[in-house]
Amino acid sequence: MTATTPITDAVRGTVEALRAEVAALHGELTRYGLVIWTAGNVSARVPGADLMVIKPSGVSYDDLTADSMVVCDLDGELVEGDHSPSSDTAAAAYVYRHMPEVGGVVHTHSTYACAWAARHEAIPCVLTMTADEFGGEIPLGPFALIGDDSIGRGIVETLRGHRSRAVLMAGHGPFAIGRDARDAVKAAVMVEDVARSTHIARQLGEPVVIDPADVTSLFDRYQNVYGQHDEGVTQ
């Protein structure tokens, strides 16, 4: 196959660094119990090029290395690698083409998030963590078949203009986005955490949705104040 977007010398170092980073980030998916067997994937946009690094299809997590990561263009075509790319490559490529602010896309089959997706139900914003991380409910995206860019279209249609960095694709499971691959992995971890807590709350009764004004206040503080900053602001 002829690469439509070759890897130039200018981005070769970035590509190799992202291969190592993306390979390592897959360990976070298994660490937090978000995937089983070979399901799920992490991908990263290559800054300065119309390229992405993504997990190969059907390769065991124990066997993932920097060298086994594949490089594709933003049409989902293989550019470099010894394996076939993930079955979600076309979906991730569509997201990167249509959401230039996104630098990482993650898909998992985490249990509680998938349970909400199986019910075709968004996760309501009933916890401050949901407000902090997602700025409101984690929305439901449409059912879409795997293999082409249908899932990607659903992700973009659902998340464009939405504060959430994650979507539950109906009958499938969660997809998370971020400014880079690590940020997207964090969102995937947090989706499962709030999906589990909200599910348990519903076993006790109907959870109370947080007032939208409070959601905005919580989201703004978490995104702009929480954590360490150069000016010395902390939580």
Q: Which tens digits make up the pLDDT trace of 93-149?
A: 999 999 999 999 999 999 999 999 999 999 999 999 999 999 999 999 999 999 899
CATH class entry, domain 9-224: alpha beta
Measured distance CA(38)–CA(112) in Å, rounded: 18
**What integer pLDDT is reported at residue 228 of this predicted model?**
78
**Cβ atoms of residues 51 and 15 within 8 Å:** yes
At 130, phi and psi to the nearest 5? Answer: -65, -45
Kindly state the average pLDDT of the residues 50-59. Answer: 98
Domain boundaries, the chain: 9-224
pTM for this prediction: 0.94
Backbone angle region of 20, left / alpha / beta, with phi > 0 → left and psi within -120 to 50 → alpha? alpha
Kindly state the average pLDDT of the residues 198-215. Answer: 98
Instruction: Tell me the pLDDT band of 6, cut-offs 50, 70 and 90.
Output: confident
